[in-house]
A = this chain, B = another copy of it.
Amino acid sequence: MRKAQRDATRTQIVKAALSCIAERGYDAVTTRYIASVADVSQGLLTYHFKTKEILWRAAAEHLFEILDESLGLDILEFNAHDAKKQTVAERDEMQRDCIRRIVRFHAKHPELLRFMLQKGSDNDSRTEWLVDTHIKPSLKQFSTVMSHIPEKDLPHMLYALSGASGIIFSVPDECERATGMNPRLTSAIERHADYLAYLFIPERN
């Protein structure tokens, strides 16, 4: 009973921290602000997470947990290894589906891109940990799914896709003001997903 409450509160704080940090940046956001969003006292953050950096780490863990769940790259990777059973058209469509999932994830969680773009004064320690613990494994799985891409092009495709998927959802207000299209609408998300799916995996003829 006590443990459940504790975990619920911690999760509440972590979620608030993730969204606040993604929105404003690590250095810019204050622990008091996170606390107010999480609807707890500021002292409680220190109680549960000791320092701001530890809280940041918990938020990152949480983000990549969601990412791994939502993307289900492990499933797609499994299918990719089953390539012999697939026609080329089926493989293409599987890869398009993977891209669509990525776009939908960015739409639902603009935090991801913002999180990766963060720099802080003591950036290095946090970045290295993030890359080694979470980014490298993700990229490896993804590259298995995109098995047909020449190895030299892979980093370019990877980052091109990340950016192409995510940016539009990171600046929804600017986008709507500039183009008239609201990228928060499901229709816009699906259009973007489809646009990128066929951009990166063109139809064959």
Chain A interfacial positions (CB closer than 8 Å to B): 23-29, 113-114, 116-117, 119-121, 127-128, 130-132, 135-136, 139, 152-168, 170-171, 173-175, 177-181, 183, 191-192, 195-196, 199-200, 202
**A120 surroundings in chain B (CB, below 8 A):** 24, 28
Nearest B residue (CB) for A200: B199
Nearest B residue (CB) for A114: B117
How far, in whole Å, are A161 and B166 apart by their CA atoms in the complex? Answer: 11
The answer to whether B160 touches A199, judged by C-beta atoms less than 8 angstroms apart, is yes
How far, in whole Å, are A178 and B158 apart by their CA atoms in the complex? Answer: 11
**A29 surroundings in chain B (CB, below 8 A):** 27
Nearest B residue (CB) for A174: B131
Interface of A is mostly: helix
The residue that A160 contacts in the complex, of B23, B26, B128, B195, with Cβ under 8 A, is: B195
| 26 sample A-B contacts, Cβ–Cβ < 8 Å, listed by A number | A24-B25, A24-B28, A25-B25, A27-B29, A28-B28, A113-B117, A116-B171, A116-B174, A117-B117, A128-B177, A155-B179, A155-B180, A156-B168, A156-B192, A156-B195, A156-B196, A159-B168, A159-B171, A160-B165, A160-B168, A160-B196, A163-B163, A163-B164, A163-B167, A167-B167, A202-B202
How far, in whole Å, are A165 and B114 apart by their CA atoms in the complex? Answer: 16
Nearest B residue (CB) for A160: B164
**A174 surroundings in chain B (CB, below 8 A):** 116, 127, 130-131, 135
